C-alpha cells in the first residue's frame, strides 16, 4: 500500500488571529495579494483563498477606518481646530488657497504721512498692547537690499 500523497495545498481554515491581521493590514491600505502572503502562520495563501475567507473584512475595514477618521475630523472641527476646518473647506467644500488674491483692504499711507497724534486713545491702547506682546514693528518702508545672499537654515 502506498501512503497517501502529500498535496501541495492543504485546505485553509480561517483563524481569529488571521482575521485580526487581515483587518489591520487592510485598514493600513495593504493590497490583498500582499496580505495573502502574510496569513496562515506566515505560510501564506493564494489571493483567491484570501478573498474567499476574508471578503467581509477586506471590504468593510476601509469604510470603518474612513468613518473613524471622519468622526475625529468632525470632533476637531467642533473643537475649532483651524487645521481641521481648513482641511474640510479645501477638500470637501472646494475652497482653495489663492496666493495671488488681493488684500480685502488697501492701505495707502506713506510713512511721512503718518501722524501718531491723530490716533484715538483706543488705537493707542491697542498699539501699546501689541508692542508689549512683542509684535513685529515695521516702518512700512521696504528695506534696501544688502547685496548679500539671505542666510539659509539647513
One digit per residue, the tens of pLDDT, for the chain of length 154 reads: 555 444 445 689 999 999 999 999 998 889 999 999 999 988 999 999 999 999 999 988 888 888 999 999 999 999 999 999 999 998 888 888 777 766 555 556 566 666 767 777 887 777 777 777 765 555 555 555 555 554 444 4
Q: What is the pLDDT of residue 122?
A: 81
How far is residue 34's CA from residue 56's CA, in Å, rounded to a whole number?
A: 17
Secondary structure (DSSP) of 54-68: HHHHHHHHHHHHHHH
Q: What is the pLDDT of residue 72?
A: 94
Q: What is the pTM assigned to this prediction? A: 0.47
How far is residue 23's CA from residue 25's CA, in Å, rounded to a whole number?
A: 6
How far is residue 86's CA from residue 95's CA, in Å, rounded to a whole number?
A: 9
Amino acid at each position: 500500500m502506498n501512503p497517501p500523497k502529500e498535496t501541495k495545498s492543504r485546505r485553509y481554515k480561517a483563524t481569529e488571529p488571521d482575521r485580526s491581521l487581515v483587518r489591520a493590514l487592510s485598514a493600513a491600505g495593504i493590497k490583498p495579494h500582499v496580505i495573502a502572503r502574510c496569513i496562515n502562520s506566515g505560510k501564506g495563501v493564494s489571493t483567491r483563498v484570501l478573498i474567499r475567507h476574508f471578503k467581509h473584512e477586506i471590504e468593510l475595514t476601509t469604510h470603518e477606518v474612513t468613518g473613524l477618521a471622519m468622526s475625529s475630523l468632525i470632533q476637531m472641527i467642533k473643537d475649532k481646530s483651524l487645521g481641521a476646518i481648513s482641511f474640510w473647506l479645501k477638500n470637501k467644500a472646494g475652497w482653495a488657497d489663492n496666493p495671488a488674491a488681493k488684500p480685502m483692504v488697501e492701505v495707502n499711507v506713506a510713512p511721512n504721512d503718518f501722524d501718531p497724534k491723530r490716533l484715538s486713545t483706543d488705537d493707542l491702547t491697542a498699539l501699546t498692547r501689541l508692542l508689549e506682546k512683542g509684535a513685529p514693528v515695521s516702518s512700512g518702508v521696504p528695506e534696501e537690499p544688502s547685496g548679500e545672499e539671505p542666510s539659509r537654515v539647513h
